Amino acid sequence: MLIKSLVTKKESLTTVKETVTLEEALVVLEESGYRCVPILDETGTIFRGNIYKMHIYRHKSQGGDMTLPVTYLLKNATKTIPVNAPFFKVFFNIKDLPYIAVLDESANFYGILTHSKLLGMLSDAWNIDVGSYVLTVMSTGAQGDLAAMSKILAKYVSISGCVTLDAGRGEYVRRTLFTLPAGTDETTLNQCVTKLEKKHFQVVEIDDLQSGQPVRVDED
């Protein structure tokens, strides 16, 4: 399961029990350096929510009682995903959270999936370390488009990575980003672009992964 492979398990996490006070939770947050940590029940199996350092400081600055239980400022109690959740659901749940809690098959706390792990996985899809160029190709999204584009490129290169995104409304509604392998020269690159555009697939951007600069941008 893809999600499971990205999760930081609870054994490796800094957490607080639901019975600790706000003062005690603040000490944990300060010592760990994290801006928030999970709150678990006394058994360490049930996820209650998150406690944020900023919320405790705001409470304290306003003269709030620091002996109150940490659950007084509990947040994100419902922000969880099951460990076997479809990957796309992560994007609808994590949003502005630093991480999202992951529950096992018994709805017990399994660990967290962080933004950095998610972004790292996405960056791997570009295969930057073993790539040369990324072509951004616009298509209509019709059945067979992806296969047709891949077949064209496969005549000249091995495809190191492929990410497909919706581009919005209009005639061209799909963006597909193809990573070409390291060692691809400009002649081969130009052949790929020419053949794609001959089949009415618009190459709107080419990024050189080694220089970090765009090679060509079609303004039309």
Task: Note the pLDDT tens digit of each residue in 14-44.
Answer: 999 999 999 999 999 999 999 999 999 999 9
What is the value of pTM for the model shown?
0.69
SS3 99: strand
Pair of tokens at residue 108: 């017990």
All structural domains of the chain: 2-120 (3.10.580.10), 125-212 (3.30.70.260)
Residue whose token pair is 């941008």: 217
Residues in the chain with pLDDT values less than 50:
217-220
Name residue, tokens 């495809």.
159
